[in-house]
Chain A
Amino acid sequence: MTPAISVENVSFAYDDQPVLKDISLTVDEGDFLGLIGPNGSGKTTLLKLMLGLKQPDSGRIELYGTRADKFKQGTRLAYVSQQSSEADAMMPVTVREVVRMGRYAHAGLMPLSSEDSRLVDDALETVGISDLADRKISRLSGGQKQRVYIARALASEADLLALDEPTVGVDADSVEAFYDLLAELNDDGITIILIEHDIGVVTQHANMMACLDCELYEHCETSAFLESGAVERVFSSAHGLQAGQLVGGD
């Protein structure tokens, strides 16, 4: 079986600033990959490279066996970014209108069918926000907003769901319910890649972990990962670097 994503020897730099060095990893279909690392370690960049939104300077990335930037089946992918984009804070758009966007790539230039509308209703139902369908999205709480984006991903019937720190600024109860929802989706066979700063929460749900700090420190099953001490190494080295800079500054 071809893996959902395969990353081979990928490097990426913003101008002269290297962000990722020689990364290789694979994500199999049905995996729940937790991607962790300190701030500025290139997690988001790696995620965007994997989804074909950016191109690597060197190396090769494949999505379901095709080069990521040539991968045409947009309907198989869904992305929930760090929340509070400017648009969802300002623009008048209802929850239902946002979830319907999940069907847009399927419909092309034609109007949405009744089948599309049914999938939208189902998605709203699944994440438990049917009662919010006609509310303006900017009026929702952080946790509710993230559910809307998950509903959009569900409506698009994506096979791969990528989330970039989806729970920043969301209250603790909602976070728990959110991860239960993700676990359910994963049980249904959706591949999940999750960037998260709260290591405790990820290791509870993810079956694979990857720890990143420019280089890939560790990529293995979650239980082995917790014993490997990669977390301590990465976060203490980042800490050490900062302390070193401070001393150098003096």
Chain B
Amino acid sequence: MAVETPSLGRQRALLGVGVPLTLVGFTAFILWVFPPLYGLFWDSTCSTVDTWIVCSNFLQRGFTAGALIGVTAPVVGAYLVNRQMALIGEALAHTAFGGVAIGLFIGAAVPTLDYPLVFALVAAAIAALGMQYIAVKTDGYADVPIAIMLTGGFALGISIISYGVVFSATVESYLFGDILFVPFENVQLMVALTLLVGLTVGLTHKQLLFITFDREAARLARINVWLYDTLLIVLTALVVVAAMQILGAILVAGMLVIPVAAAMQLTASFNRGMGLSVVVGQIAIFGGIFLSYIWNIATGAMIILVAIAVYLWALLFVWNATVGTLVIVMPVVVWVYLLSPLIGGFVMLGLIAIYTLASTRQ
């Protein structure tokens, strides 16, 4: 087993060269490749589908940002939920809000520094590291430091805002999220964060999973638990800041937790669960955006409500798979029947046949 050391050394050298190169590649992609690609995709979608919902510039940016959040938040959330750290995201989002307030304040005074999200990123990262420090000092993520961080960050934000130099509309967009309020730079920022999260999770998934499942055994295998814990919480801070624009500081944690909770009901495997939670995340994002436009309801809130609906459905499906399937299939069948009784009737007969076959095979 002495052969292990040179191989790990080679890995380190490979990473030392590979990771910076990849990061340079990412930057080039975001600055030069992504914008034309983005334009090409939405132009062709707009010309083929031709409805206002895919042709509006605001919604194009909103959909893109949402789809990216629907990937990163559940992926990071999968580790957090299974470590019983579901509320860490909420605490970080509230400190990030404090950062936004500082950013708006400074931005109002010095227009060249008007990037509140960057301040949010810094505040959340500092909070993440602080949380990690407290966790090491006090043996675990107790809920008391979380509560202190959550209310403290929010109190800081409110006290700065109450000083009264920013518009309440701007503040509200960070509190509750605003899908019409995502500038293209922020979409680019989100692509960057998504690539970063993807790269990190791709490289360290094994270690993160091992620590999540069996901390002691991971320490025994001499995996640097402290390093990976810090990495995970910093990733969480990045994702929270990215998601805050659409969901708002208050609802961000829902996207980290609910898709994962739904997916984990439906599978025995962690890796499949992670994949499935991304699917649930996308359903929540796209379903939420559509419904919020149909019913004229706040988008962030609708996204979370759709996610919860999927979670409840997952519980129903686990309780009784037939009932769970019917709940999904029946409305579709009824809809088809209303459109055309003949086709609807055939579909119903077909379903009954499939069901009978399936139940006799058992």
Do A and B come together as binding partners? Answer: yes
Most chain A CB within 10 A, of B1, B7, B209, B214, is at: B214
Give the distance in Å from the alpha carbon of A107 to the alpha carbon of B264 in the complex.
27
Q: A91-B82, A91-B213, A92-B267 are in contact. Are A78 and B1 (CB under 8 A)?
A: no
Q: Once the chains bind, are B271 and A104 in contact (CB under 8 Å)?
A: no
Contact yes or no, A157 B1, CB < 8 A: yes
Question: Quick check: A106 and B213 within 8 Å, CB to CB?
Answer: no
| Partner pick for A53 among B11, B206, B220, B223, CB 8 A cutoff | B220
Q: Are A92 and B273 in contact (CB under 8 A)?
A: yes
B4 touches A87 (CB 8 A): no
Known: A73-B4, A79-B216, A93-B270. A105 touches B82 (CB 8 A): no
CB-defined contacts of B223 to chain A, threshold 8 Å: 74, 104-105
Asked if B269 and A74 make an inter-chain contact with CB atoms under 8 angstroms apart, the answer reads no
Cβ-defined contact, A75 with B221, below 8 A: yes
Chain A residue contacts of B4, Cβ below 8 A: 73, 75, 106
The size bracket of the interface on A is: 35 or more
B323 beta carbon closer than 8 Å to chain A: no
Across-interface contacts of A106 in B (CB, < 8 A): 4
Across-interface contacts of A159 in B (CB, < 8 A): 1
In contact, A109 and B82 (Cβ under 8 angstroms)? no
Alpha-carbon separation in the docked complex, A135 to B221 (Å): 25
B343 within 8 A of A: no
Is there an interface contact between B264 and A101, defined as CB atoms closer than 8 Å? no
Q: Tell me how far the C-beta of B103 lies from the nearest C-beta in chain A, rounded to whole angstroms.
A: 35
> A135 to B270, alpha carbons, bound, how many Å?
12
Check B206–A107 contact: CB distance below 8 A: yes
Q: How many residues of B contact A (CB 8 A)?
A: 31
Q: Are A81 and B216 in contact (CB under 8 A)?
A: yes
Q: Which residues of A contact B264 (CB under 8 A)?
A: 91-92
Work out how many contacts link A and B, with CB atoms closer than 8 A: 97
For B267, list chain A residues within 8 Å (CB): 92
A97-B269 contact given A73-B1, A90-B82, A109-B11, CB 8 Å threshold: yes
Contact with A along B146-185 (1 / 0, CB 8 A): 0000000000000000000000000000000000000000
Is A51's CB within 8 Å of the partner chain B? yes
Whether B358 sits at the interface, judged by CB under 8 Å, is no
- Residues of chain A within 8 A (CB-CB) of B214 are 85, 87-88, 101
Beta-carbon contact of B222 and A73 below 8 Å: yes
Q: Cβ of B8 and Cβ of A108 under 8 Å apart?
A: yes
**Is A77 in contact with chain B by the CB < 8 A criterion?**
yes
Q: How far is the CB of A218 from chain B (nearest CB, A)?
A: 28
- From 145 to 178 in chain A, residues with beta carbon under 8 angstroms from any chain B beta carbon are 152, 156-157, 159
B266-287 with Cβ < 8 A to chain A: 267-271, 273
Whether the pair B222, A78 counts as a contact (CB closer than 8 A) is no
Min Cβ gap B75→A in Å is 15
Q: Which residues of A are interface residues toward B (Cβ below 8 A)?
A: 51, 53, 71-79, 81, 85-88, 90-94, 97-98, 101, 104-110, 112, 134-136, 139, 152, 156-157, 159
Q: Which 10 A-B pairs have the closest CB atoms?
A: A74-B222, A136-B268, A74-B221, A105-B221, A93-B270, A104-B206, A94-B269, A91-B82, A109-B203, A79-B220
User: What 6 new A-B contacts, CB under 8 Å, besides A73-B222, A93-B209, A109-B206?
Assistant: A87-B213, A93-B269, A97-B209, A98-B213, A104-B210, A135-B268
26 A-B pairs, CB-CB below 8 angstroms?
A: A53-B216, A73-B1, A79-B217, A79-B220, A86-B84, A87-B82, A87-B214, A88-B213, A88-B214, A91-B213, A91-B270, A93-B268, A93-B269, A94-B268, A94-B269, A97-B270, A104-B206, A104-B210, A104-B221, A105-B221, A105-B222, A108-B7, A109-B203, A109-B204, A135-B268, A157-B1
